[in-house]
Amino acid sequence: MRTTFVVPDDLDAPRRGGDVVAPGDTIPPHNPMCYGCGPRSPHGLHLSMTAGEGVTATGELLVEPRFEGGPGVIHGGILASVFDESMGLGLMLMGLTAVTVVLDIDYARPVPIGTRLRLDARVLGTRRRQVYAEATATVLGADGAAGEPVAGAHGLFVIVDPHAHFGPTRDLGQKV
Asked if 99 and 157 touch (Cβ cutoff 8 Å), the reply is yes
pTM equals: 0.91
Q: From 80, 74, 77, 119, select the one nearest 100 (Cα to Cα).
A: 80
Cα distance between residue 111 and residue 71, in whole Å: 11
Strands (E), the chain: 49-51, 56-62, 98-107, 116-127, 130-140, 146-159
Asked if 68 and 114 touch (Cβ cutoff 8 Å), the reply is no
Read off the pLDDT of residues 81-94 as tens digits, 9 standing for 90 and up: 999 999 999 999 99
Say which DSSP state 12 is in.
Answer: B
Read off the pLDDT of residues 109-168 as tens digits, 9 standing for 90 and up: 999 999 999 999 999 999 999 999 999 999 999 898 988 899 999 999 999 988 788 776
